[in-house]
Amino acid sequence: MSAESTPDPAIPGTGESRSTGPGRRGKGRRRKPRAKRRKALLVAAWSAAGVVVLGGTGAGVLYFKLNGNLTSVDIDQALGADRPEKADNGSENILVLGSDTRAGGNDKLGGGTDDGTARSDTAMIVHVYKGHKKASVVSIPRDTLIHRPACTGSEGGEQPAADDVMFNSAYSTGGAACAVKTVESISGLRMDHYLEVDFSGFQNLIDDLGGVKITTTENIKDPDSHLNLTAGTHTLDGEQSLGLVRTRHGVGDGSDLGRIQLQQAFVKALVQQVKDIGVLGNPKRLYDLADTATKTVTTDSDLGSVNSLMSFASGLKGIEPDGMHMVTMPVIYDPADANRVLMQKDKAQQVWTALKNDRPIPASATEGTAAGGAKGVVNAS
Question: Which pLDDT score, from 0 to 100, does residue 372 have?
Answer: 73
Residue 243, SS3 per DSSP: helix
Beta strands in 237-321 (DSSP E): 297-300
d(CA 350, CA 331): 13
> Nearest Cα to 376, choosing from 211, 243, 218, 237?
218
Question: Which pLDDT score, from 0 to 100, does residue 278 have?
Answer: 58
Q: How far is CA 172 from the centre of its chain?
A: 17
Residue length of the chain:
381
Question: Which pLDDT score, from 0 to 100, does residue 46 have?
Answer: 31
Contact, 276 vs 381, CB < 8 A? no
Question: Which pLDDT score, from 0 to 100, does residue 62 have?
Answer: 63
Residues of the chain with pLDDT under 50: 1-61, 102-116
DSSP H or E run through 121: strand 120-128
Residue 180, SS3 per DSSP: helix
d(CA 372, CA 220): 15
DSSP letter, residue 25: P
> Nearest Cα to 108, choosing from 42, 16, 203, 248?
203
d(CA 224, CA 109): 11
Question: Which pLDDT score, from 0 to 100, does residue 111 have?
Answer: 43
* Pairing outcome for strands 151-152 and 144-148: unpaired
String of DSSP letters for 200-212: HHHHHHHHHHT-E
d(CA 204, CA 201): 5
d(CA 373, CA 68): 43
CA-CA-CA-CA dihedral for 9, 11, 15, 17, to nearest 10: -130
Question: Which pLDDT score, from 0 to 100, does residue 63 have?
Answer: 67
d(CA 337, CA 88): 41
Contact, 204 vs 296, CB < 8 A? yes
> Nearest Cα to 139, choosing from 25, 264, 22?
264
Question: Which pLDDT score, from 0 to 100, does residue 197 have?
Answer: 85
Question: Which pLDDT score, from 0 to 100, does residue 281 have?
Answer: 56
* Angle between helix 238-246 and 256-275 (nearest 10): 140
Question: Which pLDDT score, from 0 to 100, does residue 377 have?
Answer: 76
- Amino acid at site 91: S
DSSP letter, residue 10: T
d(CA 152, CA 177): 8
Question: Which pLDDT score, from 0 to 100, does residue 200 have?
Answer: 78
Question: Which pLDDT score, from 0 to 100, does residue 276 have?
Answer: 63
Question: Which pLDDT score, from 0 to 100, does residue 100 have?
Answer: 63
Residue 23 backbone dihedrals phi, psi, to 5 degrees? -75, 165
Residue 354 CB coordination number (10 Å): 20
Q: Domains, the chain, ranges and CATH?
A: 41-380 (3.40.630.190)
pTM of the model: 0.79
The string of pLDDT tens digits covering residues 219-239 is 988 888 888 899 999 999 999
Question: Which pLDDT score, from 0 to 100, does residue 246 have?
Answer: 84
